[in-house]
Amino acid sequence: YGYSRSPSFSEIISLLIPFDKERKTMGEKENTQSIVDGYTNSWISGDFKKARSYLADDIDFRGSLNQFSDADSLIAALEKFTKILKSVDFTSRFYEGNEAMLMYDYHTDSPAGSIRTVEYFRVARGKIKEIKVVYDATELRKMMGDQA
């Protein structure tokens, strides 16, 4: 009985995300990293205009609480969220081709406390086209009441 090699990050992602002709090769890794990190660092620091510049107008955002199909709505939600955000500690970052995945802990000034989060990004034509965010939203839903 032989053992096969472990699948690569892109092979795992290709099973989770439907194939897209905009998917690129490793040659875009550095560009993807600079776009994703630029966006993330911008909104965390409160520079929402700069953060918006990294997003495609028709972004596909899907999170544990919200879904948006336009960048302006996503930025408005981030502006509200940062009002309770104290800090962010990154634990892992992966970049391959036009995709990235970040794992981090949000530390909030709210009953939700710290929130472990994983965020997937897909970049197309120099902009973030897709974001999927996964986290336990239980405490945030309680805080939001009927708004969630």
Q: What pLDDT, in 10s, does the model give residues 30-49?
A: 799 999 999 999 999 999 99
The answer to whether 97 touches 23, Cβ cutoff 8 Å, is: yes
User: What is the dihedral sign for C-alpha 68, 73, 77, 79?
Assistant: positive
More confident residue, 21 or 65: 65
User: What is d(CA 127, CA 68) in angstroms, rounded to the nearest whole number?
Assistant: 16
- Give pTM, 2 decimals: 0.76
> Cα 26 to chain center, whole Å?
19
- Identify the H or E element spanning 47: none
Extract the tokens encoding 92.
């892992």
Q: Tell whether the model's pLDDT for residue 73 goes beyond 60.
A: yes
The pLDDT of residue 16 = 57
The pLDDT of residue 27 = 47
